[in-house]
């Protein structure tokens, strides 16, 4: 019976079988070729299966924030640290922790970050030739800025309740604090507005006729 290989022997055997991974996928929006996660998996899967190597991912940290493009479109920016543990047939293992970043206007920012982390964990663990690995200093991405914080719904609702109680219009609040939408109101300005509103009396109650049917159109 053949002796089971340890993790170092197994990784070496896998490295001997993996060729270069080219840029076979295309980003149609920004018009560039890239190495998709499927390209990496297709290159690795036969060697992993043959040499009985498998890996287990574990997200050890995550940070998410909203950002804005130059056109003020909101994006979710996700930064992950992912631990990948590689196991050999004899039970021995090694692990690596790599970062991954992804941005998306929907709910796929974390998925993109995981894909990026997986690709580069494999590229560097198995020293996979990538044909033309770009130098990180070769290009500089356009700057981005953090998205403007928006006022939480509970604070907006409290403000509207006070406006309704006092009979004061929202327009005056927006003009005073120079915002176009109540959700753009800074929290400090919200506190100032609430302090002023709480010092205002209730709006006068509407006059009720002496007779319940007085003033009705059929009288």
Contact 85, 58 (CB under 8 A): yes
Length of the chain: 219
Residue 18: what pLDDT?
A: 82
Residue 105: what pLDDT?
A: 82
Which strands form 74-87's sheet, in the order they lie side by side? 93-104, 74-87, 54-68, 145-146
pLDDT in tens, 84-117: 999 999 999 999 999 999 888 878 888 889 988 9
> Would you say residue 25 has pLDDT above 80?
no
* Domain topology for 7-134: Enolase-like; domain 1 (3.30.390)
Residue 142: what pLDDT?
A: 64
Residue 10: what pLDDT?
A: 94
String of DSSP letters for the chain? -PPPP-HHHHHHHHHHH-------EEETTTTEEE--HHHHHHHHHHHHHHTT-EEEEEEEEEEEEEEE-TT--EEEEEEEEEEEEEE-TTS-EEEEEEEEEEEESSS-HHHHHHHHHHHHHHHHHTT---SSPPPTTS--PPP-EEPPP---HHHHHHHHHHHHHHT--HHHHHHHTT-SSGGG--HHHHHHHHHHHHTSPPPPPPP--SSTTTT-TT-
Residue 9: what pLDDT?
A: 94
Contact 69, 143 (CB under 8 A): no
Confidence of residue 81 (pLDDT cuts 50, 70, 90): very high
Residues with Cβ within 8 Å of residue 191, at least 6 apart in sequence: none
Domain ranges for the chain:
7-134, 153-198
- CB-hemisphere CA count at 13 Å for 3? 4
pLDDT in tens, 191-210: 999 999 999 999 887 665 55
How many Cβ atoms sit within 10 Å of the Cβ of residue 214?
9
Residue 26: what pLDDT?
A: 59
């Amino acid at each position: 019976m053949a002796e089971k290989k340890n993790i170092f022997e197994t990784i070496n055997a896998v490295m001997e079988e993996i060729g270069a991974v080219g840029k076979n996928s295309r980003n149609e929006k920004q018009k560039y070729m890239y190495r998709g996660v499927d390209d990496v998996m297709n290159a690795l899967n036969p060697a992993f299966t043959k040499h009985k190597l498998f890996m287990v991912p574990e997200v050890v940290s995550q940070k998410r924030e909203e950002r804005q493009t130059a056109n003020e479109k909101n994006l979710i920016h996700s930064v992950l640290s992912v631990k990948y543990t590689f196991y050999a047939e004899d039970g021995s293992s090694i692990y690596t922790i790599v970062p991954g970043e992804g941005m998306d206007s929907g709910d796929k920012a974390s998925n993109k970050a995981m894909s990026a982390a997986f690709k580069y964990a494999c590229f560097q663990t198995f020293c996979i030739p990538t044909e033309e690995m770009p130098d990180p200093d070769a290009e500089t991405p356009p700057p981005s800025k953090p998205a403007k914080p928006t006022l939480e719904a509970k604070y907006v609702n409290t403000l509207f309740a006070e406006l309704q109680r006092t009979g004061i219009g929202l327009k005056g609040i927006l003009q005073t604090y120079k915002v176009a939408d109540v959700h753009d109101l800074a929290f400090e300005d919200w506190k100032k507005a609430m302090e002023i509103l709480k010092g205002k009396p209730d709006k006068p109650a509407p006059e009720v006729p002496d007779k319940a049917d007085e003033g009705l159109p059929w009288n």
